[in-house]
């Protein structure tokens, strides 16, 4: 199945257009076949997954070109997605990226990612002052 991809400018992305396209398509298909979802569940899921992976990879490629990025990492729950992992591997060869993908068993719980970051910071004696305030949404600075 093919769904329209939102055309969000720059490096931002939004899945609201994709969700709307998916919803309207489902409504039309269900009118013709009330059991459409049950008959096509696997294909619908695979098509939606491929579309999302494509959107994410297109934005990553654009960001990598714009900022001359050669190191790409993926983390958190999304890093468990096989389609996204495979797309990242494929594009890493094409664009010469060094990629960092966690072992699958480490992708299910973000606590493992936070813990390994803490471990390496501890090993490198990279400590912060105890007076450092906590920020729930700290900014990310990208340097060229």
Could you tell me the pLDDT band of residue 114, with boundaries at 50, 70 and 90?
confident
Query: Above 90 in pLDDT, residue 141?
Result: no
Could you tell me the pLDDT band of residue 81, with boundaries at 50, 70 and 90?
very high
Mean pLDDT of the chain: 89
pTM listed for this prediction: 0.72
Check residue 130 and give its pLDDT.
Answer: 78
**Buried residues in 89-103 as b, exposed as e (16+ CB within 10 A):** eebbeeeebebebbe
User: Region 114-119: what's the mean pLDDT?
Assistant: 86
Q: Where are the domains of the chain?
A: 1-68, 70-127
Burial of 112 (0-12, 13-18, 19+ CB in 10 A): middle
Query: Above 80 in pLDDT, residue 135?
Result: no
Check residue 37 and give its pLDDT.
Answer: 94
User: Region 123-130: what's the mean pLDDT?
Assistant: 87
Check residue 143 and give its pLDDT.
Answer: 60
pLDDT tens by residue, 1-59: 988 888 888 999 888 889 999 999 999 999 999 999 999 999 999 999 999 999 999 99
């Amino acid at each position: 199945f093919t769904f329209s991809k939102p055309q969000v400018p720059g490096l931002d992305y939004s899945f609201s257009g994709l969700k709307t396209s998916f919803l309207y398509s489902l409504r039309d298909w269900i009118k013709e076949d009330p059991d459409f979802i049950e008959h096509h569940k696997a294909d619908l899921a695979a098509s939606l997954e491929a579309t999302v992976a494509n959107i994410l990879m297109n934005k990553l490629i654009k960001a990598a070109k714009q900022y001359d990025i050669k190191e790409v990492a993926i983390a958190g729950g999304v890093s468990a997605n096989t389609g996204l992992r495979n797309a990242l591997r494929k594009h890493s060869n094409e664009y010469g990226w060094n990629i960092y993908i966690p072992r699958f068993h480490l992708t299910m719980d973000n606590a493992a990612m936070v813990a390994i970051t803490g471990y390496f910071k501890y090993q490198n004696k990279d400590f912060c002052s105890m007076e450092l305030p906590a920020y729930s949404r700290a900014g990310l600075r990208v340097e060229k």
